[in-house]
């Protein structure tokens, strides 16, 4: 497996693949890989002639009070996992290669980034859209794989890809969970034993809300209320948001219809965790 460190080196490798007629899959990550990332890599390795894993802890998507410095970095273990799955290259640029001196260009996706995580993390999606555009330009993939775990990110990347005319298929993969339901996340490493016990309440609360929708509830406020009730009193847990939004526009809905996203974020101690479910109203 090849390791590439600079955008021009990466692009030269990809152009060589393309010249020999090969399709390229890209799995963008910040490393500290787990089974969620593995599922994306397996899909890419299956669907494409060659696959690239990118590992880059992107400074522009972290706010000043967030965990950029502490974010787990496990490069050697990540490479071993990628190699075992059959990835062909790892693109791991350093921050100076991505953001050289006097860097001033950012991609802003409007409206979709205003609610949900965008409210608590105001510069986050500008950083995400910018880095994904830069990864696309270096890796030149035919397909790129993202997880529904970060559903707002998926919607933002899909819209940016369409709006900026990238000729790349965006593939959204299901959320991979621990046996008790907790969505896998690199940040789960921050949780101590008590936090970990509390953390399961997040996916359980969404499960209760889904049962309510399955039973016919169509008022978003009641679904949101159900999640809040399930989360109240959980030790060490503070709700950041619970919202029902249109699954593509990320704008709040009052009535549940079509396909909606029920998304929530909580703080457990200092660790922020997110989870969501997509709900498609059955046609009657």
- The number of angstroms, rounded, from the C-alpha of 56 to the middle of its chain's C-alpha atoms is 13
Does 14 engage in binding with ligand AMP (CB under 6 A)?
A: no
Least distance in angstroms from the C-beta of 204 to ligand AMP:
16
**CB-nearer residue toward ligand AMP: 26 or 256:** 26
Least distance in angstroms from the C-beta of 93 to ligand AMP:
15
Least distance in angstroms from the C-beta of 37 to ligand AMP:
5
**CB-nearer residue toward ligand AMP: 212 or 273:** 273
Q: Does residue 228 have an active-site annotation?
A: no
Which residue in the set 14, 48, 113, 186 belongs to the binding site for ligand AMP (CB under 6 A)? 186
**CB-nearer residue toward ligand AMP: 30 or 242:** 30
Number of residues binding to ligand AMP, judged by CB under 6 A: 17
**CB-nearer residue toward ligand AMP: 176 or 245:** 176
Least distance in angstroms from the C-beta of 36 to ligand AMP:
2
Least distance in angstroms from the C-beta of 41 to ligand AMP:
9
Could you say which residues in the range 152-181 bind ligand AMP, by CB under 6 A? Answer: 173, 175-176
Residue number closest to ligand AMP, CB atom: 147
Question: For residue 185, what are the contacts with CB-CB under 8 A and spacing of at least 6?
Answer: 34, 36, 149, 273, 274
Closest CA to 149 of 281, 279, 277, 272: 277
Which residue in the set 48, 51, 60, 185 belongs to the binding site for ligand AMP (CB under 6 A)? 185
**CB-nearer residue toward ligand AMP: 82 or 212:** 82
Could you say which residues in the range 100-159 bind ligand AMP, by CB under 6 A? Answer: 146-147, 149-150
Binding mask 24-63 for ligand AMP (x = CB under 6 A): -----xx-----xx-xx-----------------------
* Phi and psi angles of residue 158, each rounded to the nearest 5 degrees, phi first: -60, -45
**CB-nearer residue toward ligand AMP: 159 or 220:** 159
How many whole angstroms separate alpha carbon 120 and alpha carbon 275? 15
How many whole angstroms separate alpha carbon 35 and alpha carbon 29? 13
Q: Which of 34, 37, 124, 228 is catalytic?
A: 37
Is residue 96 classed exposed, middle or buried when 0-12, 13-18 and 19+ CB atoms within 10 A define those classes? exposed
Catalytic annotation, residues: 37
Summarize as ranges the residues that interact with ligand AMP (CB under 6 A).
Answer: 29-30, 36-37, 39-40, 146-147, 149-150, 173, 175-176, 183-186
């Amino acid at each position: 497996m090849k390791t590439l460190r600079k955008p021009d080196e990466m692009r030269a490798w990809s152009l060589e693949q393309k010249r020999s007629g090969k399709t390229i899959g890209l799995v963008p990550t910040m490393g500290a890989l787990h089974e969620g990332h593995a599922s994306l890599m397996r899909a890419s390795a299956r669907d494409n002639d060659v696959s690239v894993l990118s590992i880059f802890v992107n400074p522009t998507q972290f706010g000043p009070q967030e965990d950029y410095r502490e974010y787990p970095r496990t490069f050697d273990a990540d490479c071993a996992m990628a190699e075992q799955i059959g990835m062909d290259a790892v693109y791991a640029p350093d921050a100076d290669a991505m953001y050289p001196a006097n860097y001033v260009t950012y991609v802003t996706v409007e409206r979709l980034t205003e609610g949900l995580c965008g409210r608590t993390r105001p510069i986050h999606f500008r950083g995400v859209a910018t880095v994904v555009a830069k990864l696309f330009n270096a890796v030149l993939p035919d397909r790129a794989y993202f997880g529904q775990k970060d559903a707002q990110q998926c919607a933002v990347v899909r819209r940016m890809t369409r709006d900026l005319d990238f000729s790349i298929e965006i593939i959204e993969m299901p959320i991979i969970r621990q046996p008790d339901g907790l969505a896998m996340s690199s940040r789960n490493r921050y949780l101590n034993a008590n936090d970990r016990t509390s953390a399961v309440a997040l996916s359980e609360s969404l499960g209760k809300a889904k049962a309510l929708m399955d039973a016919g509830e169509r008022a978003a406020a009641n679904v949101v209320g159900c999640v809040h009730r399930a989360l109240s009193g959980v030790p060490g847990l503070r709700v950041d948001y619970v919202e029902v939004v249109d699954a593509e526009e990320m704008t709040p809905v009052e009535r549940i219809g079509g396909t909606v996203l029920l998304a929530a974020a909580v703080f457990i101690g200092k660790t922020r965790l997110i989870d969501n479910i997509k709900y498609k109203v059955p046609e009657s």
